[in-house]
Amino acid sequence: MNTFSVAEFRRQFPILQKLNKDSGLIYFDNAATTQKYKAVIKTSQNFYQESNANVHRGSHFLSAKATKSFEIVRLQVQTLINASSEKEIIWTKGTTESINLVAQCYGLSNLKSGDEIVLSQAEHHANIVPWQNLASQTGAVIKVIPLDKCGRIDLVQAEQVITSKCKVLAVNHISNVIGKLNPIKELIALAKNVGAKTLIDGAQSIAHSSIDVKALDCDFYVFSAHKMYGPTGVGVLYGKEQLLEQMPPYQFGGEMIKKVSFTGTTYNSLPHKFEAGTPNIVGVVGLGACLELFSKSLLSDLQAYELSLCEYTYLALSKVLGLKFLVDQQPDIPLFSFTIENVHHHDVATFLDSKGIAVRSGHHCAMPLMELFDLDGSVRVSLAPYNTFAEVDELIKQLQQFSLGENTEKLPVSTQPSADNLTTINQDEILNLFSNAKSWDLKHRQIMLLAKELPRIDKQLRSDNDLVNGCESSAWLKVSINETSHQLSFVADSDAKVIRGLMVIILSVYQHKTAEQIIAFDINAYFSQLGLMQHLSPSRGNGIKAIVERIEQLAATHL
Ligand code: PLP
């Protein structure tokens, strides 16, 4: 019988108590990082207060104590994934570093020109770029396995792609965009048949399934502690001992040596050979504290709860007007990627943020997958077992209202290449609007209303030369000068409504000004008066900076 209580589980995550009480925050960005388990926070603090010393090298009591706390976690992780020996567990700073380590230490000494590295269409950049780098170092070639209709790695197609030229197969266990378990046991078997080595990116699977590396018979399995309720800055590389033995070290320095002289150095044995320098001791100890969540019985309770949450959310999302999932059928973990008809994904995410719901929007570090779908991004909602059905209901309510509002509203489209497409709204009016809008919800509403002041430019009039670099959603900016008054006029547009609104705010101070006035204007002071920047995500903040820089560059050409 499932005795799992979400209320009880939630209490184990202090940030949820606090954020919920202070601002009613609903956290649905768990695939990016999970919230931290109380025991992880407590253990980390206790370690600094009671056991802090460097590990392995100290000749005193405290160092022995710290080393014991640190090394015991290696044994626990060995048990967690059923590795044969603790020598097979290497600490890294995360999945990305684990993959880089394998690409460089295994790949560089074993691959040659013409060999093939096989990936899937749905890899995270962390499982693409290190292999591309290896390919450029060795002359090896990247091959890609397509997905089936439901977004899983297609086994039939895999058989065609994994040939005797394949030397490494590196694929995800669960994609961070699609949320479906891939048939990795079968894929590993295909790779073994042709003598290729296998690396499984378990970043998204480790928190949701039990992993048995012996049963899988993969050569490498990698994951990050921060996606399993543990600390940031710690990751695991599992590798078969025999392979790790053959591989050269990754980085060089202390810890990874046996003996150093100016005539030469001998390296330490496994696992320390791959752990140069002082490791993230408290991170590893913190990871140890979250492993109690992965006991067989609790994990199966968590999985059962997640599944019911997954079914419920999938059905509810399916009913939202204009919502389209990226792939067919319900995901295996509660991770949903979708678009909403006629609305930019950033606008959906910014709207939800203004309602206290944290979701992810963008390419999710999976640009080749977005290319396949012919999208520049999507919305991603990813849940953890501390999320509740009531939170899902709130998400659905907000999405329904948003989609209904957006899909009934028609924006004017300007087909004339006019000097500027902005109705004159000035700085004082903007300041006035924002001084009355105290909360982020109200400010967000103002930005979206202002977006209506910027008629869309006909697609044919948007030129690639006018694209603003550094803005995550496409934004166009064109300038012309009045030869008599020397004032500059801007035409602006963006796919994202939130960016159009922000463009109106920016142009309220730059439109019809001379180049000298534009360069002299203190935009940062203006933004702080509006109280906006602290609410914008780093990527949106950078987008705004990119637009301002572009305006200043354009102005500089007219000085
Ligand atoms: N692989 C997948 C599937 C991921 O989802 C992520 C992170 O989102 C990574 C790799 C990279 O993980 P990290 O940033 O912890 O190194």
Q: How many residues does the chain have?
A: 559
Judge whether 386 and 392 are in contact, CB under 8 Å.
Answer: no
Judge whether 308 and 334 are in contact, CB under 8 Å.
Answer: no
171 lines ligand 1 (CB under 6 A): no
Instruction: For residue 173, give the 3-state DSSP assignment.
Output: coil
172 lines ligand 1 (CB under 6 A): yes
95 lines ligand 1 (CB under 6 A): yes
C-alpha distances out from residue 408 to 289, 404, 494, Å: 50, 6, 20
pLDDT bucket at 57, cuts 50 / 70 / 90: confident
What mean pLDDT do residues 230-258 have? 96
96 lines ligand 1 (CB under 6 A): yes
Of 298-302, 538-542, 553-557, least confident by mean pLDDT is: 538-542
Q: Backbone phi, then psi, for 312, in 5-degree steps?
A: -60, -45
- Find the 92 Cα to ligand 1 centroid distance in Å: 13
- At what angle are helices 61-81 and 281-290 packed, to 10 degrees? 50
- Which ligand 1 atom minimizes the distance to the CA of 364? 8
Q: Quick one: pLDDT at residue 439?
A: 84
Could you give all domains of the chain from N- to C-terminal order, each with its CATH number? 6-30+302-408 (3.90.1150.10), 40-293 (3.40.640.10), 414-556 (3.90.1010.10)
- Find the 553 Cα to ligand 1 centroid distance in Å: 36
> Which residue lies with its CA nearest to atom 12 of ligand 1?
95
- The total of other beta-carbon atoms located within 10 Å of residue 102's CB is 27
Instruction: For residue 198, give the 3-state DSSP assignment.
Output: strand
Q: pLDDT tens digits, residue range 163-204? A: 999 999 999 999 999 999 999 999 999 999 999 999 999 999
236 lines ligand 1 (CB under 6 A): no
Q: Quick one: pLDDT at residue 200?
A: 98
- The tokens for 27 are 């956290």
With tokens 């939202």, the residue in question is 320
Q: pLDDT tens digits, residue range 74-95? A: 999 999 999 999 999 999 999 9
Closest CA relative to residue 523, chosen from 555, 498, 484: 555
What's the whole-model pTM score?
0.88
Q: Quick one: pLDDT at residue 538?
A: 73
What mean pLDDT do residues 318-345 have? 96
- Which ligand 1 atom minimizes the distance to the CA of 96? 16
126 lines ligand 1 (CB under 6 A): yes
Q: How far apart are CA 228 and CA 265, in angstroms?
A: 37
Closest CA relative to residue 506, chosen from 417, 427, 414, 453: 427
CA angle 400, 405, 408 (to 5 degrees): 120
- The tokens for 365 are 């570090």
Q: How far apart are CA 454 and CA 463, in angstroms?
A: 17
Beta bridge partners of 325: 338
**For residue 413, is pLDDT > 60?**
no
- Which ligand 1 atom minimizes the distance to the CA of 224? 15
What mean pLDDT do residues 116-135 have? 98
Q: How far apart are CA 135 and CA 371, in angstroms?
A: 21
Q: How far apart are CA 347 and CA 355, in angstroms?
A: 12
Mutation to probe ligand 1, out of 29, 34, 95 (largest number of atoms < 8 A from CB): 95
Q: Quick one: pLDDT at residue 417?
A: 45
When the pLDDT of each residue in the chain is averaged and rounded to a whole number, the result is 92
Peptide bond into 183 cis (omega under 30): no
- At what angle are helices 440-451 and 497-510 packed, to 10 degrees? 80
Of all residues in the chain, what percent carry a pLDDT higher than 90?
A: 77
**For residue 533, is pLDDT > 70?**
yes
pLDDT bucket at 67, cuts 50 / 70 / 90: very high
Active site residues: 365
Sign of CA dihedral 424, 428, 432, 437: positive
203 lines ligand 1 (CB under 6 A): yes
What mean pLDDT do residues 302-327 have? 97
Strand ranges for 121-163 from DSSP E:
141-145
- The tokens for 285 are 């100890």
Judge whether 142 and 90 are in contact, CB under 8 Å.
Answer: no
Q: Quick one: pLDDT at residue 3?
A: 77
Q: Quick one: pLDDT at residue 255?
A: 86
Closest CA relative to residue 370, chosen from 501, 176, 196: 176
Closest CA relative to residue 41, chosen from 17, 23, 61, 22: 17
Q: Quick one: pLDDT at residue 112?
A: 98
**DSSP-derived secondary structure letter, 50:** I
Q: Quick one: pLDDT at residue 542?
A: 81
Mutation to probe ligand 1, out of 124, 175, 234 (largest number of atoms < 8 A from CB): 124
Judge whether 478 and 550 are in contact, CB under 8 Å.
Answer: no
Q: How far apart are CA 546 and CA 542, in angstroms?
A: 6
- Find the 204 Cα to ligand 1 centroid distance in Å: 7
- Find the 459 Cα to ligand 1 centroid distance in Å: 35
The DSSP secondary structure of 212-231, one letter per residue, reads -HHHHT-SEEEEEGGGTTS-
170 lines ligand 1 (CB under 6 A): no
Q: Quick one: pLDDT at residue 456?
A: 86
